A and B are shown apart, each in its own frame.
Chain A
Amino acid sequence: MSKQLSEEQLETALEMLAVGINGVGREKESLFLAKLCLVLANQLGDIDLLEWAIDQATVDLM
């Protein structure tokens, strides 16, 4: 990956996502996350990278 967040930015991202999920409520959580993924996939502009990201998110679902 060519561009990654700094540790500090990653912490900020984590907080933003948590607040975002809490803000939409449990009922809309899935739709919110699906929309977020689609927006980010479009911004990513790299289908291979998206596939890699999906793989990363799929493993170790405990």
Chain B
Amino acid sequence: MNRPISQSKSLYFDYPKYGFKRAPEQEGLTSVHPVVIVGGGPVGVTAALELARHGVRSVVLDDKDTVNEGSRAICIARHSVECLQQLGLADRFEEKALAWTSGTSYYRGKPVYRLQMPHSDTDRYYPMYNLQQQYIEKFLIDEAHGNKLIDLRWQSRVTDVEQDYTGVRLHVETPEGKYTIDSNYLLAADGAHSVVRRSLGLALNGEAYEGRYVIVDIQMASDYPTERRAFFDPPSNPGLTILIHRQPDNIWRIDYQVGEDVDEEKELSEDNIRRRISAVLEMIGETGKWQLEWWSLYKAYSLALDDYRHGNILFIGDAAHLVPIFGVRGLNSGFADAMNAAWKLAWVIKGWADEKLLNSYSPERRGATLEVFENAIKSTKFMTPPTRGHHLMRDATLSLAVSNAFARPLINPRQSQPYTYMDSPLTALRKRDAEFECGPGAGAALLDFRFSVTESLLDHVGPGFSGLYFSDSGVVDAQLSGLCGELRVGNVQFALTVITRASPVPGSSSLLLDVDGALFSAYGAGNGTFYLVRPDRHISARWKEIKIDEVRQVFARTLHGGTNE
């Protein structure tokens, strides 16, 4: 339930209008598309852009004629920005978004916990950014509209989906009639109320939590810095919780918990919301004028499909799972789903990898969801204690944290982190991890490292598989050079980046100078260390000293979905 603000009346955002265009299928032209994506939200369009980056066409179907309404998912984690960087959108995102690294939690008005997310000069991106979802969607859609491999079809509502062993058929309703469209694969990115999921008779399983939050955006000029503020049992919401975040355009997100016995209709009346927000603003000492922009009611869920792949249909984002917002894991998980599913699908469609590669999607991303649940459940129990016992111990923790440091870590909101695909069929040679003292292990996301304001390690990673080779001399011998040639697939080069502490070899474009050895240290590397990196920038395997034959085997095994044939 939310307040459907008239889009023309938004205080800060001009909602674009995406017109309907007749589909080729409506002109009698039929073809089997390689991929159809249901859902033109941030997750679906991210998947379309990632497919296009690998040269694969897709059709995106969405029943709306604009972006989703309201700010929705506003906290974007570093790993998601790295995904946007891969799609060429990070600069536009950073220009608009507000970066933040810290937060404060209060108990009955007293500060009890200071959140400080690690951030150093070698980090290219901040650990967290705030940006309204409409902007993110618009940036992605603008990019997709300019991409010839993406066919965005607005005002096109999918009503039913069928699949057999040959592929998928979708039934679509438009302002100018119905049509069917056939595809080899389908990515279901159609959100919490997924039509694809319903058509297949699939259900999300898991838990719903008692606590409800009213989520309100207001516009207000304030100098308060960008950080997360959490208020437990504050004077303006006794016994309950409030969260406050700053967004661009002087928009402030105020989430306040409502009691179990409240009447939703009364609680969500505009007068009541104005009264509640006034009380919150008075509590935090904001005395300036403010205007109401948007509001919605939120209830926490930990729900997921048992399997994210059903034949030729892969579920991504909220269509696959619903996670509580505390810890900002919803859209951040969705981005990772989209990138994971899309590169695998692209490589299978291009014939560069065996169809078995798709089998790794569900274990990897459902594994990520289960880890998210584990953390989110802890956060949710703290934010909205489900029982009297939990409530009492939560209050005891907060009360102790005023003067006792030992209790403060229990207040940590456990913000979103990239997941390590430790148990994935694609993650190889974990025994080699034991040879390292630090650095990202097999299955982990690549650790970015900034060399200058505009350049970081991510700029040197290729569109397909990549290798990081740490060398004292910077010289690539004939064996490694030959291996790189062997690992070329289709028209995709294997991108080798050599990291050296020596002077650069003239004419080498893939050589990174690590004068002070900081990158060597961050990766636990010595002379000859090698990291094999997947297209989604997760580590396939790593070797303290490169073993050419093993690299070759791991690469081949990955393209066969983690099997040996």
Contact = CB atoms under 8 A, between A and B. Distances in A.
A29 to B, nearest CB: 11
Contacts of A35: 396, 399-400
A34 B396 contact: yes
Contacts of B392: 30-31, 34
Nearest to B393: A34
A35 B396 CA distance: 5
Nearest to B388: A30
Contact of A37 (B396, B399, B404): B396
Interface string A29-41: 0110011011100
Contacts of A34: 392-393, 395-396
Interface in B385-404: 392-393, 395-397, 399-400, 404
A35 B393 CA distance: 7
Given A34-B392, A34-B396, A38-B397, 13 more contacts: A31-B392, A31-B395, A31-B396, A31-B399, A34-B395, A35-B396, A35-B399, A35-B400, A38-B393, A38-B396, A38-B407, A39-B400, A42-B407
Give chain B's interface secondary structure class: helix
Contacts of B406: 42
Contacts of A38: 393, 396-397, 400, 407
Interface residues of B, number: 10
B141 to A, nearest CB: 49
Contacts of B393: 34, 38
The size class of the interface chain A forms with chain B is under 10
18 contacts: A30-B392, A31-B392, A31-B395, A31-B396, A31-B399, A34-B392, A34-B393, A34-B395, A35-B396, A35-B399, A35-B400, A37-B396, A38-B393, A38-B396, A38-B397, A38-B400, A38-B407, A39-B404
Contacts of B407: 38, 42
A56 to B, nearest CB: 17
Interface string A10-39: 000000000000000000001100110111
Nearest to B389: A34
Interface in B366-396: 392-393, 395-396
A27 B84 CA distance: 52
Contacts of B397: 38
A61 B234 CA distance: 35
Give chain A's interface secondary structure class: helix
A32 B399 CA distance: 9
Contacts of A37: 396
Contacts of A42: 406-407
B398 to A, nearest CB: 10
Nearest to B400: A35
A31 B406 CA distance: 18
A28 to B, nearest CB: 10
B391 to A, nearest CB: 10
A45 to B, nearest CB: 11
Contacts of A39: 400, 404
Interface in B144-199: none
Nearest to B406: A42
Centre residue among B395, B396, B399, B400 by max chain A CB count within 10 A:
B396
A35 B395 CA distance: 8
A35 B392 CA distance: 9
A27 B407 CA distance: 23
Nearest to B397: A38
Contacts of A31: 392, 395-396, 399
A38 B400 CA distance: 9
Nearest to B396: A34
A38 B392 CA distance: 11
A37 B400 CA distance: 11
Contacts of A30: 392
Nearest to A39: B400
A59 B561 CA distance: 53
A1 to B, nearest CB: 22
A36 B447 CA distance: 42
Interface in B115-151: none
A38 B390 CA distance: 13
Contacts of B396: 31, 34-35, 37-38
Contacts of B399: 31, 35
Interface string B216-258: 0000000000000000000000000000000000000000000
B393 to A, nearest CB: 6
A51 to B, nearest CB: 15
Nearest to A34: B396
A30 B395 CA distance: 10
A37 B407 CA distance: 12
A34 B393 CA distance: 6
A31 B107 CA distance: 14
B395 to A, nearest CB: 6
Contacts of B404: 39
A38 B410 CA distance: 11
Nearest to A38: B396
B494 to A, nearest CB: 49
A42 B399 CA distance: 15
B396 to A, nearest CB: 4
B397 to A, nearest CB: 7
A30 B397 CA distance: 13
Nearest to B404: A39
A37 B392 CA distance: 11
Centre residue among A34, A39, A42 by max chain B CB count within 10 A:
A34
A35 to B, nearest CB: 4
Nearest to A28: B399
